[in-house]
Chain A
């Protein structure tokens, strides 16, 4: 039988890395929220209690990562970048208190999004940076959660994302590149947020992603003929709920009413048997060391595999002991569905801000 225990350790020497505290806030808090409090005194429960007490501290820290011109950077006084912006907003929504919501300056966030928007519909990751499809997802995610979508914000974005789908069925980082799990998830999820997922070649995408589950390992690879990696448990397997919903909306009568279109048990086996560090935390594959990113995305993938459906039609498949059960995660935002609903409800009481910053055409694109 498979047992699961998670201990979140804090690494002390991450100062050298540009990869940011907001990302760690998100991956740590999401990893924690996936464990419901089952009354058992595990190390995780204790961590959760201490997290509750330090919500305020985290809010204050993230506030310092917010740029005066909008968006969040990798650390205090750093330039805003879409990846930590995505992580910070998600982390604040997980925290879900008034204080957390109020950290986000919505007007400035909108300005930031316009400042990275390109005339062809794409977004750069930061001012002066490069375009890739992750940016569209980060932008769509934060804008939809905080209710700052203006009529022009995503002009052309869906067409640009669609052009990233290649003959294989997956999406590349920019048009013309190799199909890749991370980029495919980002592009597809962004299109779902924009309501345009039906414009993808869904059948070919389905064929591509289902071919990425490894016959022997049970986990997913990021691209054809590559090795399995625990993090693709979310980026790849996470596509199946999105596709299921898309096919359902098209009225597909052959769709399963009990399972996503991948081998759920095999994925759970891979994660539980191969991706756990004995001291806690999760990882890419046996032999690799643990890190927050893999802990977050292995757990997210485990949740996807365990839970099929939504509130109305729900089916659980828990491999191993009952205590292996995680709570469901939202397939688009990858935070708990209740937190998504709560955030959307809060921010939709507020009016959409008016864009005050310069438009993309007016900015110097160097």
Chain B
């Protein structure tokens, strides 16, 4: 079983070449993986390409990895020269097997800077590495470096420099904003994939937030699009705290951006600050959109809590959305001042009411079950009644109604626990 150094050398050369050829043969490889195979059989390559999946038989890793790792370190210590093509291939092989090897990513940074490596190719390698190691911190960190570098390249001053050098006729020479647009959309896809491969993937979702802030610059359209595109995802991952945190981030960003837009519409010659005179018709734009966003999020939350009892994330999400809503409402009522008449019917509903169960009933609840004496059955009729007319915007009374509704006929002990804790939180944190 022991391989001589020459044999290992030959094997490694072959494997590196095979990996390289696989990518040449199939530019659509979208996933890599390790094939459990403790011993080499026959005399065939450990690299397996089936449809768009690249597999590496596990027996070769213990030969491959130390050898390639060592070769790169020798290059770094200037003890052994490697030409640029070899560096690309070697780092590619290394990173597919061990994407947290910072040195290899740093070599690729250098290759990018001297134009040997194309950023899209490098991002593609990262995407593949993430298909096997969806959390890999070094991969995400390197990705952010590449994206920042790409942004600099595509900036007006960066473009001038490039045009002065050589004209590039390939896809890389495409208009910069298009290139960045594609990169942005691709990042969202990569984040979504990685999030799906590991529950509550902190690094993937943090990266997604970074992309919003640094690439999309909190653009309203992107924020809205992200809110719609993640809605289905979170509905299928109801315990994914990171996914819901992302939606909380989107709501906060949207509320902030829309408010600024609202300010600028009101005072085009002034800088947006916290002040605003109430009553102008322009105010209605963001005064309606933002509550609508919160209302829809609460509805989504309600649906999911009812459909999937006992998931702490959903209750945590509800708290946060309600808290954000509560804060926003307070700020904007303060801004409007006490002398302004209610702008819309929303304001009437928003006024604080004492939050005891007796006064919590609203017209639509008259025929519904609120009292604790009815246990067990949660009939279709009651459900229909409760879902009837459109719910008013969230407020303390409606939240207490919601909790009571959940507790009635609740069969999940965790769900009861979370509901009671939520009510306690409403009283101690919001209702003071």
Contact = CB atoms under 8 A, between A and B. Distances in A.
Q: Closest 9 A-B residue pairs measured CB to CB?
A: A225-B313, A178-B245, A225-B312, A225-B241, A224-B241, A224-B316, A225-B239, A177-B206, A130-B141
B323 A167 contact: yes
Interface in A73-115: 77
Contacts of B239: 225
Interface string B91-131: 00000001011110000000000000000000000000000
Interface string B200-217: 101001100100010000
Interface string B315-334: 01000100110000000000
B311 interface: yes
B316 A177 contact: no
A176 interface: yes
Interface residues on B, range: 20 to 34
Interface string A173-199: 110111010000000000000000000
A225 B249 contact: no
Contacts of B401: none
A180 B313 contact: no
A18 interface: yes
A180 B205 CA distance: 13
Given A223-B200, A224-B241, 10 more contacts: A17-B100, A18-B100, A77-B77, A178-B202, A180-B202, A223-B242, A224-B313, A224-B316, A225-B239, A225-B312
A227 to B, nearest CB: 9
Interface of A: 15-18, 77, 129-130, 167-168, 173-174, 176-178, 180, 223-226
Contacts of A15: 66, 69
B316 A225 contact: yes
A329 to B, nearest CB: 26
A177 B209 contact: yes
Given A224-B241, A225-B312, A176 B209 contact: yes
B179 interface: no
Interface of B: 65-66, 69, 77, 98, 100-103, 138, 141, 144, 199-200, 202, 205-206, 209, 213, 239-242, 245, 249, 311-313, 316, 320, 323-324
16 contacts: A15-B66, A16-B65, A16-B66, A18-B138, A130-B141, A130-B144, A173-B202, A173-B206, A174-B206, A178-B205, A178-B242, A178-B245, A223-B200, A223-B242, A225-B239, A225-B316
Contacts of B202: 173, 177-178, 180, 223
Nearest to A81: B102
Contacts of B206: 173-174, 177-178
A231 to B, nearest CB: 15
Nearest to B316: A224
A4 B131 CA distance: 39
A270 to B, nearest CB: 19
A176 B209 CA distance: 9
A223 B241 contact: yes
A129 B144 CA distance: 11
Contacts of B100: 17-18
Contact of A18 (B65, B101, B200, B324): B101
B312 A224 contact: yes
B139 to A, nearest CB: 13
A18 B106 CA distance: 13
Nearest to B246: A178
A279 B124 CA distance: 42
A17 B66 CA distance: 11
A226 B66 contact: no
Contacts of A225: 200, 239-241, 311-313, 316
A16 B69 contact: yes
Given A16-B69, A18-B101, A18-B102, A226 B209 contact: no
A254 to B, nearest CB: 15
A178 B320 contact: no
Contact of B200 (A167, A168, A176, A226): A226
Contacts of B213: 176
Nearest to A172: B206
Nearest to B421: A211
Count chain B CB atoms within 10 A of each CB in A167, A173, A178, A225 and give the residue with the most.
A225
